[in-house]
Amino acid sequence: MARDTRSIAPGVRSEVDPQIAFDRRRFLALAGVMAAGAGVPGAAARARQPDTLQEAIEDVLDEAIEGESDIPQGVDLRTIAEAEKLARLQYTNEQREQVLRTIDRQLGLIDFQRTIELRNEDGPAEVFDPRLPGMEFETRRRRAVWRNADPGPLPQNEEDIAFAPAWALSHWVRTRRLSSEDLTKLYIGRLKRLDPKLECVVTLMEDQALAQARRADEEIRAGRWRGPLHGLPWGAKDLFDTSGVRTTWGAAPYKDRVPDRDARVVQMLDEAGAVLVAKLTLGALAYGDLWFGGRTNNPWNLEQGSSGSSAGSAAAVAAGLCAFTLGTETYGSIGSPSARCGATGFRPTFGRVSRHGAMALCWSLDKVGPICRCAEDCAMVLDAIDGPDAHDRSTRDIPLNIDMTRSIEGMRIGYSKAEYKGRTATDADRETLKALEKLGAKLTPIDMPQGPFGGAIFFLIGIEAAAAFDELTRSGQDEQMRWQDDAAWPNTFRMARLAPAVEYVQAQRIRGRLMRQTAALYENIDAVIAPTRHGAMHAITNMTGHPAITLRQGFREDGTPFAVTLWGRLYEDAALLRLGHALEMELDLWRRRPSL
């Protein structure tokens, strides 16, 4: 399709279709009409003052569509009738004729909007807030309290060091038994050696990482210890912007994209003294494990994909290629690859961690969280990236207040008796319930949310993601995407363009009902547990914003791990992390390594 570049404002260029070329003078005239209709002082001198609201509306519409009122060529009553089928409606002939007489105005408004260049970071005016009226949360911020366990002497075997949890590495680096530079070199060597098998690295940041590690060692020698992550090498899902280093979003159309800023979480981890060693793979545009360079593989079974979309983050940490990683989740992109790769993934409450500088997929659903080797590592990382950010209006100033020394005795864990007695639950699921009882938790029978409400998440994801990548679809660059199956983004985005806007609002209304139902569910419990990979709870809690932790629950006969997920109360992430840590220690499965 032919393209045309017109100037929107000084220094700003925008590509638009020549058929909907932007007329700056008409835009200013339209602004004048709108200002006049709103009663802005002086507006009448710049535009005709309409006598009635109806006249004002007519003026705005006429200006927006450049005064044209002809029915677009090729659009007739049959077009309207066919469109009804996609909207699951049926109009009368009289109603179709009325729509046809005025449809040019709606099309004109669509064309008008497309003249305005929107970036991926330009989110909607509406901001999702998981809090309901009457909810109250902790406001006093307290310093994190750690167990300060002694991991013992530094192992002599490099592989033992590579697979050590971040809390142990932190102890050895802080006490100078292990230098950050040596640890970084160890991980760089493993990344180079094992990435051909795993395909989990987009960009290895060797020179920058070694410079950061040497700075960390100098600061620690001088007594300037920044905290538990100081000197620890980490990997970032390649949708977090890194200044001067390409951030590809895993997709061919963006493989040469180089941002000029760091994402907020990258800045915060740099301030914590962590060493960014690699940008890790994600399924293209945060879906699955296929990216423009290949497929990221499961360290436990190289014939199997790692799942996604935080594919490289889960694979790398599970394979001992870095101390910890960051991922993101919209529906299951932290939990799913963590389950597949045997990592521990933590999805925080919506709004706890800033998404500024991260690729937007769904503004009302995206969440940033750690993927690590154990729950205590997740707590350390979350503590470093927690907090409000003026650049992300979804963030809330609700303190994390981690205390990993507290017992979980007395915590109320909700579960469905019917599900655990049914065929969906495994022996391992039931053993996990026994482990929680042994730890002093109180198992509380609950009725899980019923109804097909969870399906609303797929409608929300499809619409918001299609909007986030509108230009990709309209430009035809979606054809460069590696994955082109029916379930892949290109087809999903195209279908979403045909969905009625009214249905998107209806999905948000369903979401509101789910929020109220879920709030009632949590009135008498602290967390929910369900049999392995409970799809409904993943869908519901992603829409309501509740936190979740996914950790190893066992191993299959072929040696691959499987997981359990627990879901906590809104903004009580610290309690869920303590629960996950206690369960992880009781099950004692987290230390087992893949044999690469």
Q: Supply angle C-alpha 395, 400, 405, rounded to 5.
A: 165
**Annotated catalytic, 237?**
yes
Query: Where among 82, 113, 144 does a domain terminate?
Result: 113
Q: Specify whether 79 is located in the same domain as 168.
A: no
Domain-ending residue, one of 80, 113, 146:
113
Residue 42, pLDDT score: 39
Q: Is residue 222 part of a domain?
A: yes
Same domain membership, residue 324 and residue 259: yes
* Candidate list 309, 310, 336, 416, residue with the active-site label: 309
Residue 131 CB contacts under 8 Å (≥ 6 apart), including other chains: 137, 396, 570
Active-site choice (179, 306, 333, 354): 333
Instruction: From 442, 536, 456, 528, select the one nearest 499 (Cα to Cα).
Output: 456
Within a domain: residue 472? no
pTM of the complete model: 0.89
Q: Is 369 within a domain?
A: yes
DSSP category for residue 523: G
Same domain (yes/no): 184, 89 = no
Beta strand 367-372 with 344-347: parallel, antiparallel or unpaired? Answer: antiparallel
In this prediction, residue 51 has a pLDDT band, given cuts at 50, 70 and 90, of: low
Q: How many CB atoms lie within 10 A of CB 243?
A: 14
Both tokens of 188, joined, read: 């760089």
Domain boundary among 59, 84, 113: 113
Residues 103 and 199 in one domain: no
CATH code, domain with 201? 3.90.1300.10
Q: What would the pLDDT profile of 254-296 be if each residue is shown by its tens digit? A: 999 999 999 999 999 999 999 999 999 999 999 999 999 999 9
Catalytic residue from among 170, 179, 237, 313: 237
State the Cα–Cα distance between residues 543 and 362, nearest whole angstrom. Answer: 11
530 within a domain of the structure (yes/no): yes
Task: State yes or no: is 309 an active-site residue.
Answer: yes
Any domain includes 135: no
Examine the domain organization and report whether 89 and 173 are in the same domain.
Answer: no
The yes-or-no answer on residue 333 being catalytic is yes
508 in a domain, yes or no? yes
Q: Total structural domains in the chain?
A: 2
Instruction: Sort 525 into a burial class: Cβ within 10 Å, 0-12 / 13-18 / 19+.
Output: buried
Look at residue 44 and tell me whether its pLDDT is greater than 50. Answer: no
Both 175 and 250 in one domain: the answer is yes
pLDDT tens digits, residue range 314-367?
999 999 999 999 999 999 999 999 999 999 999 999 999 999 999 999 999 999
In sequence order, the 6+-apart residues with CB closer than 8 A to the CB of 96 are 77, 80, 81
Helix H, strand E, coil C: the string for 93-107 is: HHHHHHHHHHHHHHH
Query: pLDDT, tens digit, for every residue of 431-474?
Result: 999 999 999 999 999 998 776 677 889 999 999 999 999 999 99
CB atoms < 10 A from the CB of 68, how many? 13
Residue 36: domain span: 4-113
The verdict on 523 and 444 lying in the same domain is yes
Does residue 594 belong to any structural domain of this protein? no
Same-domain pairing of 307 and 428: yes
